[in-house]
A and B are shown apart, each in its own frame.
Chain A
Amino acid sequence: MTTLDWIVLVITLLAIVTYGLYKSRTTRNLDGYFLSNRSMSWGLVLLSIIGTQASAVTFISAPGQAYTDGMRFVQYYFGLPLAMIVICMFFVPIFSRLKVYTAYQYLENRFDGKTRMLIAFYFLLQRGLSTGISVFAPSIILSSLLGWNIYWTNIFMGGLLIIYTMSGGAKAVAYTQQLQLIIIFIGMFLSAYMIVHMLPDGIGFTDALHVSGKLNKINVITTGFKNNGFDWSDQYNLFSGIIGGFFLALSYFGADQSQVGRYLTAKSMTESRVGLLMNGLVKVPMQFAILLIGAMLLTFYQFNKAPVFFNEVQVAKIEKSALSDSFHLARREYENITAKKKEAVSSFVQSLHADADVSAKTAEMKQLQQQSDSIRKKVKSWITSKEVGGDGNDTNYIFLRFVLDYLPAGLVGLLIAIIFLASWGSIAAAINSLASCSMIDFHRKLSKKEVDHEREYKLSKRYTLGWGVFCVIVAMFTYNIGNSLIEAVNVLGSLFYGPILGVFIVAFFFKKIKNANAVFWAAVFAELTVLLVFIIAQRRLGFLWLNPIGVSAVIFFSVLFNSLFKKQIQKINPA
């Protein structure tokens, strides 16, 4: 990084922390600290919802995902708008009527205290761990790319935001997210512009789309059906996206306090609803645009030298191993193919412009891409082999490697700042929600002592600090998950979201189920079922399916236990 990049990075980060502190003045009670006195407009709610969901990996990994697997990842978000509708219809009015601080408070009204605490515990467990991983994920990428010390990067990634999150609570979180998102969108737009701008003369945006499309990266819609029927292990397709994505989004936005806490800050139910519905409108096009950057990047690398493997730390490992000679040979072969690709793609575009038949040129391009893909596959297998023992997934590094290698000074600093800002947006909201859940669902409930507003406010700040430190510590110990950081966060969420959402669905739609013990044990058994399915099915089942399985298990066990407990009571107390 150049001096200019460092200046841009430091100024951007300091500006956010200062702005967060400036906006942190709030009333010294729980309403002010956790819900911004319920004063936010729908625009702020919307940006806060987006800023909470979009972590650093959203902006770093998504282009890499499109580069390697195509744009089909966008289907993961197809269920989201439908979930927004259900939340506006059923969740928002109830939370609003009861004036809750956390979603789990409602469960005590509907069932009992232990069901509320069990579900709050599921939330704390999965959100606490996944936030720790969310601190580690961008840190490891930055430390690998820039040679920064991982411990210091973790502390900067998770530590600086604690200052304004602890000081200003939900209000500081929402206002900083607003500024963070503006900077993020400017940075992403500039990098997308630069990719197209740096394509050779005569190659336009549409040509780049044709090239990327012929190389199977414009696969926005896929059905998941193969020759022998539907592929249940396929992670992203139209059906898993709509069904699995719907349940995932419903759990995340309806029953995860990190999101519920955002729209509870709205000044009215209307503002909450509009914020959520606007999120349903913008999320899919936004993800599409981010993925499109990756598809464009693939075309860019048809004309420019691409590394055979994008994570240089792993490349250094293989170079020190017994496989070094084989690796160098493979890299040379890869570079030769890149030179051929450049000619083949230029020729393809010329034919395209001349309205000539492009089938032969397309076949040549595809063949060369297959050759380079197979070399990359071979290199990845060497990196993960016993001799090297490295991380064979470089998806997270693809976009940032391009940024460092090709973007001008200043813009590199801005893009690195974006990683921090995107992380801070989601981590700050998560820490705020972990603190509110600890304070409201556990401390307030279990504490026998009466305390005043000032004391509660101070305690909430301590919980915020405590969870912030906890997440940094988890990040410090997060090793050897390596290649599957984003997936680890998603899988962790899917393991718990089904049972959490299931309890809310039983509460809302199964009015006849009134036995609190039945629902409590149903939530326990449903969690065990999800864990069992996850262990047995392993990679044969896409993780999105765990969400509907968890929901169905809670409903099934609730109905079963409710009728069994009813019969038992009838036996003990016959009419």
Chain B
Amino acid sequence: MIDQDNDKIPIFKKWGQWYVFLVAVLITLIILFYFFTKQFS
């Protein structure tokens, strides 16, 4: 691993946007799982 972060960040412009996206996906998954549980239990 080279100590250069000049590579273009894929998809987003900033790493912070990646992190927010990951948290949003996790929250969405938990909500979906909650409704999935409610639907079939």
Q: Which residues of A contact B4 (CB under 8 A)?
A: 268-269
Name which residue of chain A comes closest to B9, CB basis.
Answer: A270
A38 touches B37 (CB 8 A): no
Complex alpha-carbon distance, A89 and B23, angstroms: 14
Name A263's contact: one of B1, B15, B39 (CB within 8 Å): B1
A238 touches B30 (CB 8 A): yes
Complex alpha-carbon distance, A88 and B9, angstroms: 13
- A340: Cβ under 8 A from any B Cβ: no
Name B2's contact: one of A209, A268, A277 (CB within 8 Å): A268
A264 touches B22 (CB 8 A): no
Name which residue of chain A comes closest to B26, CB basis.
Answer: A81
B39 touches A213 (CB 8 A): yes
Chain B nearest CB, measured from A209 CB (Å): 5
Q: Which residues of A contact B9 (CB under 8 A)?
A: 270
Chain A nearest CB, measured from B28 CB (Å): 11
Q: In A219-266, which residues have CB < 8 Å from any B CB?
A: 219-221, 238, 263-266
- A18-48: CB near B (< 8 Å → 1, else 0) gives 0000000000000000010010000000000
B22 touches A85 (CB 8 A): yes
Name, among A78, A213, A270, the residue most crowded by chain B CB atoms within 10 Å (CB to CB): A270
A209 touches B19 (CB 8 A): no
B29 touches A272 (CB 8 A): no
Given contacts A216-B41, A219-B41, contact A38 B26 (CB under 8 A): no
B1 touches A264 (CB 8 A): yes
Given contacts A78-B26, A218-B41, A220-B37, contact A267 B19 (CB under 8 A): no
Name which residue of chain B comes closest to A35, CB basis.
Answer: B1
- A66-87: CB near B (< 8 Å → 1, else 0) gives 0000000010001001101100
Q: Which residues of B contact A220 (CB under 8 A)?
A: 33-34, 36-37
Q: Which residues of B contact A218 (CB under 8 A)?
A: 36-37, 40-41
Interface residues of chain A: helix, strand, loop or mixed (majority): helix
B30 touches A89 (CB 8 A): no
Q: Which residues of B contact A274 (CB under 8 A)?
A: 10
Chain B nearest CB, measured from A21 CB (Å): 26
Measured as residues with beta carbon below 8 angstroms from the partner, the interface class of chain A is: 35 or more
Q: Which residues of B contact A35 (CB under 8 A)?
A: 1
Q: Which residues of A contact B29 (CB under 8 A)?
A: 284-285
Name A96's contact: one of B1, B8, B36 (CB within 8 Å): B1
B33 touches A221 (CB 8 A): yes
A280 touches B1 (CB 8 A): no
Name which residue of chain B comes closest to A241, CB basis.
Answer: B30
Chain B nearest CB, measured from A67 CB (Å): 16
Complex alpha-carbon distance, A267 and B15, angstroms: 18
B26 touches A273 (CB 8 A): no
Chain B nearest CB, measured from A78 CB (Å): 7
Q: In A86-138, which residues have CB < 8 Å from any B CB?
A: 88-89, 92-93, 95-97, 99
Q: Which residues of B contact A214 (CB under 8 A)?
A: 40-41
Q: Which residues of A contact B37 (CB under 8 A)?
A: 213, 218-221
- A288: Cβ under 8 A from any B Cβ: yes
Q: Which residues of A contact B22 (CB under 8 A)?
A: 81, 84-85, 277, 280-281
Complex alpha-carbon distance, A85 and B2, angstroms: 19
Q: In A267-299, which residues have CB < 8 Å from any B CB?
A: 267-274, 277, 280-281, 284-285, 288
Given contacts A82-B23, A85-B23, contact A97 B3 (CB under 8 A): yes
Chain A nearest CB, measured from B35 CB (Å): 9
Q: In A357-371, which residues have CB < 8 Å from any B CB?
A: none
B5 touches A270 (CB 8 A): yes
Q: Which residues of B contact A74 (CB under 8 A)?
A: 33
Name, among B4, B9, B41, the residue most crowded by chain A CB atoms within 10 Å (CB to CB): B41
Complex alpha-carbon distance, A88 and B4, angstroms: 14
- A514: Cβ under 8 A from any B Cβ: no
Q: Which residues of B contact A92 (CB under 8 A)?
A: 1
Name which residue of chain A comes closest to B19, CB basis.
Answer: A85
Complex alpha-carbon distance, A82 and B37, angstroms: 23
A95 touches B1 (CB 8 A): yes
B40 touches A269 (CB 8 A): no
B2 touches A38 (CB 8 A): yes
Name which residue of chain B comes closest to A38, CB basis.
Answer: B1
- A212: Cβ under 8 A from any B Cβ: yes
Name which residue of chain A comes closest to B25, CB basis.
Answer: A281
Q: Which residues of B contact A401 (CB under 8 A)?
A: none
Complex alpha-carbon distance, A352 and B4, angstroms: 59
Given contacts A213-B41, A214-B41, contact A269 B2 (CB under 8 A): yes
B3 touches A269 (CB 8 A): yes
- A210: Cβ under 8 A from any B Cβ: yes
Chain A nearest CB, measured from B18 CB (Å): 6
Pairs A–B under 8 Å by Cβ, sample size 29:
A38-B1, A81-B22, A82-B23, A82-B26, A84-B22, A85-B23, A88-B19, A93-B5, A96-B3, A99-B3, A209-B40, A213-B41, A216-B41, A220-B37, A266-B1, A267-B2, A268-B4, A268-B5, A269-B5, A269-B7, A270-B8, A270-B10, A271-B1, A271-B7, A273-B15, A273-B18, A274-B10, A277-B19, A284-B29
Q: Which 3 A-B pairs have the closest CB atoms?
A: A213-B40, A270-B7, A220-B33
Apart from A92-B1, A268-B2, what are 9 other A-B pairs with CB-CB below 8 Å? A38-B2, A81-B26, A96-B1, A220-B33, A221-B30, A221-B34, A265-B1, A268-B4, A284-B29
